[in-house]
Amino acid sequence: MQTLPWIVALAALVVLGFGLAGWLTASRNRSKPAVPLPVEWSLTSRPVFTKDERRVYRLLREALPQQLLLAKLPLVRFCQPSEGGDTRYWYELLGSLHVGFAICTASGRVIAAIDLESDHPLSRRALQIKQSVLGACSIRYLRAPIDQLPSIAELQALMPTPSAPAAPRAAAPASPAQVLDQARDSLANTVATRRAERHSMWHDSGVFQDSFFAPDSRHDTTMSGAELGGGALPAGLQDDDIAGVVVDAPRASGNGHG
């Protein structure tokens, strides 16, 4: 029982030691001075492409004139993590990797990537990371030695094939009832138009301005087939109204005159 207090005290000392070491490390990092800027910037420009890369660029330009070509594009420029909390992890994993040539659409979406196999190949881990990233993003990937470059046809085959537009569906033939309804509507519209032309001089009258409060049976468009096919005029038609409708083609009579 007497050893328990000593164990607790020892554990407390260990925790205190770790905490003190962490605090010293953090304070040392905060107090570390920034690297001073150089007085002279001893730098010169250099071409983006090597001789072999210029050859590949010209080949790509000839094979894919409609596509946008980007050189030495980092992976982190055209992929992103699905979960926002994993940003630092993915950036540290992918930040140092790039593709030699990225083939993009006009809007900048990468659809294929090409790397040249050099004398200093990637490590197996780096190659696995790059292939996995491009596969997850559905981006086609090609690695080729400079002395075995793909042909123009092979480069064009890397491009996704546009899907053919669906053929428009033929309109279904109208049923006899639909034909009759359309004819009825056409007849009613013709009658209403002719009547509006005859009574246009009344449009300024206050009585006619308020007449829409009550239904007007003359504008009823729900006439039955019997009304359209009978000898009497349908309700609402006047003697000088001119309108007509064909319900069905007349059949030839067996006793017709020759």
Q: Find the CATH number of the domain harbouring 121.
A: 3.40.960
* Contact call for residues 245 and 189 (beta carbons, < 8 A): no
With a threshold of 0.95, does the pTM exceed it? Answer: no
Same-domain status, 186 and 143: no
Same-domain status, 129 and 185: no
Same-domain status, 150 and 62: yes
The answer to the question of residue 111 being in a domain is yes
DSSP-derived secondary structure for the chain: -THHHHHHHHHHHHHHHHHHHHHHHHHHHHHPPPPPPPSS-------SS-HHHHHHHHHHHHH-TTSEEEEEEEGGGS---SSGGGHHHHHHHHTT-EEEEEEE-TTS-EEEEEEEE-SSPPPHHHHHHHHHHHHHTT-EEEEEEGGGPPPHHHHHHTSPPPPPPPPPPPPPPPPHHHHHHHHHHHHHHHHHHHHHHHTGGGTT-HHHHTGGGS--GGG-----HHHHHSSSPPTT--TT-------SPPPPPTT---
The answer to the question of residue 190 being in a domain is yes
Comparing 3-12, 81-90, 194-203, 219-228, the range with the smallest average pLDDT is 219-228
The answer to the question of residue 106 being in a domain is yes
Give pLDDT, residue 4: 66
User: Which residue range(s) make up the domain with 120?
Assistant: 51-157
The answer to the question of residue 26 being in a domain is no
Give pLDDT, residue 248: 47
Q: Is pLDDT larger for residue 180 or for residue 85?
A: 85
The answer to the question of residue 183 being in a domain is yes
Neighbours of 52 (CB within 10 A): 15
For residue 203, which phi and psi values (nearest 5 degrees)? -65, -20
The closest alpha carbon to 89, from 81, 101, 97, belongs to 81
Give pLDDT, residue 209: 42
Same-domain status, 61 and 148: yes
The rounded mean pLDDT for the chain is 74
Q: Is pLDDT larger for residue 236 or for residue 18?
A: 18
Contacts of 87 (CB under 8 A, 6+ apart): 81
The closest alpha carbon to 248, from 234, 231, 229, 232, belongs to 229
Q: Angle formed by the axes of helices 87-94 and 124-136, to 10°? A: 130
The answer to the question of residue 215 being in a domain is yes
Same-domain status, 144 and 196: no
Give pLDDT, residue 256: 47
Give pLDDT, residue 140: 95
Displacement of CA 242 from its chain's centroid (Å): 54
Same-domain status, 69 and 141: yes
Domain count, the chain: 2
* Contact call for residues 100 and 55 (beta carbons, < 8 A): no
Which residues make beta-bridge pairs with 114? 101, 142
Same-domain status, 126 and 216: no
Tokens linked to 200: 């246009």
Give pLDDT, residue 191: 60
Same-domain status, 104 and 55: yes
Interatomic CA distance for residues 218 and 116, integer angstroms: 83
Same-domain status, 59 and 128: yes
Q: Is residue 40 pLDDT above 60, yes or no?
A: yes
Same-domain status, 151 and 55: yes
Same-domain status, 190 and 121: no
Q: 148 vs 61, 68, 124, CA distance in Å?
A: 18, 23, 22
The answer to the question of residue 191 being in a domain is yes
Same-domain status, 153 and 181: no
The answer to the question of residue 117 being in a domain is yes
Q: Give the model confidence (pLDDT) of 146-195 as tens digits.
A: 999 999 999 999 888 766 555 556 555 666 666 667 767 776 777 666 66
